[in-house]
Amino acid sequence: MPILRSGFIALSHNRPLRRFFEHSTLGTRLNKRFIAGMKIGDALRVAEAVNSQGIAATLDSLGESVTSANEAHRAAEVYHQLLDFIAQRHLNANISVKLTQMGLEQSPELAESIAGDLVQHARSTGSFVRIDMEDSSLTQVTLDIVRRVHARAGMRGALGIVIQAYLYRSQSDVEQLLADGIRIRLCKGAYDESAEVAFPRKAEVDTNFLALSKLLLDSPVYHALATHDERIIAAVKAYAAAHNIDRSHFEFQMLYGVRRDLQRKLIAEGYNVRVYVPFGTEWYPYFMRRLAERPANVIFLARNFFRS
């Protein structure tokens, strides 16, 4: 499995393959299970559909590593439009943003300024911005920007961050973020990291995920636990029940197109569930990371591809 994971991660950086798949009919057939579509309207329709099932949504305009300030501002404008549409349509939805898409690699100051504007906009419309986490080389600068923006007047509660359980440093990061009152989305991690910075074995990642989940559940802040692993979900539910933690105090998050049966089951049991809804033409890196982190997706994809 580690070899398969590394292979898909490597493919996610292959530019010729990316160009081919993002501009081909074959690519469209492959991505439709995990990608809402190419346009804002596609994402909004999916958000409305999942809302009708009692499930919240996080909308993500796919793209990363822009090469200029103009590109960063154009990417941000899509999110500003999303925030307006979410408010106009009264959707139970928020947005998820990568700082490299906001110009982080050109200028951390640029990314911080753009992120701050988005959070201010979200605050004014009653929504929320989640800053996504990327590979470990960007962890510290992402944390620093989120903490500074969150500390601005009026921003508290309108901004959150993602923490990846496979990094050794994540417990100390969680403790600092909890001290600041920042909302956390905990996931396992989807990048190819070395054993110098990340737990190399799945069992270790799972153990750390559950330990960090308990820290989040014990805090007074509303957090999100992103996993499709039924064993971890069962352990979280048991811990919450044993410690009288109300089901409204946290949410489970899952990916669009993955374990819809489990999403519906959790809703029926009274838990909050949010689905991560990606859209846009730059879908290839995201798609390959989904295959890398869950090999069962490869089998599922192949089975449905040949049926269609």
pLDDT of amino acid 302: 46
**What pLDDT is recorded for position 308?**
42
Segment-wise mean pLDDT, segments of 10 residues, the chain, 308 residues:
54 58 57 81 97 98 88 97 98 97 96 98 97 96 98 95 98 98 95 93 96 98 96 98 98 92 97 95 68 57 45
Identify the H or E element spanning 274: strand 272-279
Q: How far is CA 24 from CA 18, 27, 50, 174, 248, in A?
A: 10, 5, 28, 41, 43
Residue 3 confidence (pLDDT): 52
DSSP class of residue 182? -
Question: H/E element holding 31?
Answer: helix 25-31
Residue 29 assigned as binding residue: no
Q: How far apart are CA 86 and CA 179, in angstroms?
A: 30
pTM recorded for the entire structure? 0.86
CATH 3.50.30.10 fits 36-279, yes or no: no
Which one from 183, 185, 274, 294 is the annotated catalytic residue? 185
Helix (H, G, I), strand (E, B) or coil at 126: coil
Is residue 183 flagged as an active site residue?
Answer: no
- Residue 305 confidence (pLDDT): 41
Q: Find out whether 80 is annotated in a ligand binding site.
A: no
pLDDT one-digit tens code per residue, 150-178: 999 999 999 999 999 999 999 999 999 99
Q: Which of 132, 173, 192, 206 is catalytic?
A: 132
Domain ranges for the chain, please list them.
36-279
Beta bridge partners of 94: 58
What per-residue confidence (pLDDT) applies to 171? 98
Question: pLDDT tens for residues 51-91?
Answer: 999 999 999 998 877 999 999 999 999 999 999 999 999 99
d(CA 22, CA 12) in angstroms, rounded, equals: 12
- The answer on whether 237 is annotated among ligand-binding residues is no
Radius of gyration of the chain (CA): 18
Binding site annotation covers 202?
Answer: yes
Would the annotation count 189 as a binding residue?
yes
Pick the closest to residue 286 from 94, 72, 1, 9 (CA basis). Answer: 9
* 223 among annotated binding-site residues: no
Residue 185 appears among annotated catalytic residues:
yes
| Spatial CA neighbour of 13 closest among 218, 285, 306 | 285
